[in-house]
Amino acid sequence: PASTTESGPGHLAVGGVRLAEIADRFGTPVYVLDEAEVRHRCRTYRDAFPDAEVLYAAKAFLCRAMVRWMDEEGLGLDVCSAGELELAVTAGFAPERMVLHGNAKSPRDLETALRLGVGRVVIDSPSEIARLAAAVGPSGSQKVMVRVVPGISAGGHEKIRTGTDGQKFGLSIADGYAQHAIARILDQPQLELTGLHCHLGSQITSVKPYLAAVRRMVGLMARLHEQHGLVLPELDLGGGHGIAYRPGEDALDLTSLARKVRAELADACASAGLPVPRLVIEPGRGIAGPAGIALYRVLSVKHSGETVFVAVDGGMSDNPRPALYGVRYAPRLIGRHSTAASARVTVVGRHCEAGDILAADAELPADVRPGDLLAVPVAGAYHLSMASGYNLVGRPPVVAVRDGLARLLVRRESMEDIRGRDVGL
């Protein structure tokens, strides 16, 4: 995770800045992003996959600084809305290095993508083909990929598995929908099919499903070669690389993933008599997740039955992941040194729901009390990007740390922001 160092009794520093200082200066809840860790993770990907195109999945977390860092580290972007696309462009990112996803792209998404010149559009449904071709116009040209469902079950939770039939993304190989859509794309002269895409799911900790995906995808490429004489230059295997949320949890081994995928791809292509396509990967969590830390202030501590509830000033509005996927976090007391024995507590949020639990069965010093600060590591991906406006508490700010300096990237959502949108009476 973010390169934390102990800095005095009970103190934890990230990027050379004490977390307690950030809480004092910017208030809580607050999200801290370790710039060096983000960049380090980008380089780890680039080193492990030197021949591949690495696209950062912007849905994990996006702000203009993040866009800038991805650009400087040589990554492309996977975006899935006009909003993500436009934010990236306003930060100076080249649209041709972006790929647009989405199972239900709106007219605005497609219009924006074409107007700004997005690199590739990933087709996810048959109806999108004609819509896109019409929007491109008879004399235009747009590169596309097709999102294929390879029929492989993988991913950390049922709600984030996307490699099998019976979920909303992509076009099935087994049912022939993928083959049918590809034939229709080939009939559209203004759409240039550059490759196939699949995304198996998220929080995958084993290499095996990726190898199975390579086999299935190359199998389809071989059939397309036979039927249409098609040789596709790209194969996008999506993201989903699992990370450890708590000490001792497994993460996907990227070096092993890279080595085995490369070997499997070379082998499968050789057997099929196809040239090896350029690999594209789309990590989101693997880049942003471990680089983020959420800081909360404890507001109350109370006992109820057997349980000790430690309530903090954020909750499911800034981190819906425990409620959605049953994810477990390991919060830490920071900002003071405690010699108390460790106790099992349930860290809950401030929202008006019993399900607003941030960390069930967390270990914290038994003397944890109101006013204390808690740090929740591995909070960089799918926290703020999925934050809601529930109870009008205002979304937390994002502070970047680097070389002993803290700087505000995204400010806290204020009451003026909230009231400003409320235009009726």
241 sits near ligand LLP (criterion: CB under 6 A): yes
One of 286, 314, 331, 349 touching ligand LLP (CB under 6 A): 286
Amino acid identity at 396: P
**Non-local CB neighbours of 325 within 8 Å, separated by 6+ positions:** 156, 157, 159, 160
Instruction: Give how far Cα 256 sits from Cα of 210, 227, 267, Å.
Output: 11, 34, 16
Instruction: Give how far Cα 257 sits from Cα of 32, 166, 219, 249, 281, Å.
Output: 29, 27, 20, 18, 11
Q: Quick one: 38 or 345, whose CB is closer to ligand LLP?
A: 38
124 sits near ligand LLP (criterion: CB under 6 A): no
**Residue 285: in which H helix or E strand, if any?**
helix 285-288
Could you tell me which stretch among 44-52, 197-205, 340-348, 389-397 binds ligand LLP (CB under 6 A)? 197-205
Could you tell me which stretch among 36-44, 263-271, 276-284, 391-399 binds ligand LLP (CB under 6 A)? 276-284
Could you tell me which stretch among 31-39, 175-183, 233-241, 270-278 binds ligand LLP (CB under 6 A)? 233-241
Could you tell me which stretch among 55-63, 174-182, 303-311, 391-399 binds ligand LLP (CB under 6 A)? 55-63
Q: Quick one: 75 or 333, whose CB is closer to ligand LLP?
A: 75
Residue 363 in marked binding region? no
Q: Quick one: 322 or 335, whose CB is closer to ligand LLP?
A: 322
Closest Cα partner for 66 from 49, 102, 41, 103? Answer: 41
One of 15, 119, 170, 284 touching ligand LLP (CB under 6 A): 284
Residue 349 in marked binding region? no
Residues 274, 216: Cα–Cα separation, whole Å: 14
Contact call for residues 33 and 383 (beta carbons, < 8 A): no
Structure-block tokens of residue 51? 């021949």
The nearest distance, CB 42 to ligand LLP, in angstroms, is 13
29 sits near ligand LLP (criterion: CB under 6 A): no
Residues 295, 176: Cα–Cα separation, whole Å: 49
Residue 111 in marked binding region? no
The nearest distance, CB 128 to ligand LLP, in angstroms, is 15
Residues 160, 154: Cα–Cα separation, whole Å: 9
48 sits near ligand LLP (criterion: CB under 6 A): no
Structure-block tokens of residue 113? 């993508």
Q: Are strands 76-79 and 120-123 parallel, antiparallel or unpaired?
A: unpaired
Residue 283 in marked binding region? yes
Could you tell me which stretch among 33-41, 223-231, 283-291, 389-397 binds ligand LLP (CB under 6 A)? 283-291
Residue 353 in marked binding region? yes
72 Cα distance to chain centroid: 19
Q: Quick one: 224 or 237, whose CB is closer to ligand LLP?
A: 237
One of 76, 170, 238, 315 touching ligand LLP (CB under 6 A): 238
Closest Cα partner for 399 from 319, 314, 312, 295? Answer: 295
Would you say how long the chain is, in residues?
A: 425
Binding mask 144-183 for ligand LLP (x = CB under 6 A): ----------------x-----------------------
One of 19, 30, 60, 399 touching ligand LLP (CB under 6 A): 60
Residues 346, 359: Cα–Cα separation, whole Å: 6
Q: Does residue 352 carry a catalytic annotation?
A: yes
Q: Which residue has the tokens 């205002």?
A: 394
Residues 162, 158: Cα–Cα separation, whole Å: 9
41 sits near ligand LLP (criterion: CB under 6 A): no
The nearest distance, CB 287 to ligand LLP, in angstroms, is 8
Closest Cα partner for 111 from 129, 131, 89, 94? Answer: 131
Q: Are strands 171-172 and 142-149 parallel, antiparallel or unpaired?
A: parallel
Residues 384, 319: Cα–Cα separation, whole Å: 7
Q: Which residue has the tokens 């866009």?
A: 67
350 sits near ligand LLP (criterion: CB under 6 A): no
209 sits near ligand LLP (criterion: CB under 6 A): no
The nearest distance, CB 410 to ligand LLP, in angstroms, is 19
Choosing from 63, 80, 269, 352, the catalytic residue is 352
Phi (first) and psi of residue 212, to 5 degrees: -60, -40
Residues 185, 330: Cα–Cα separation, whole Å: 48
Binding mask 359-398 for ligand LLP (x = CB under 6 A): ----------------------xx---x------------
Q: Which residues are annotated as a binding site?
A: 240, 282-285, 321, 325, 353, 382
Q: Which residues are annotated as a binding site for substrate?
A: 285, 321, 325, 353, 382
Interface residues toward ligand LLP, by CB under 6 A: 57, 59-60, 78, 101, 160, 199, 202-203, 238-241, 282-286, 321, 325, 381-382, 386
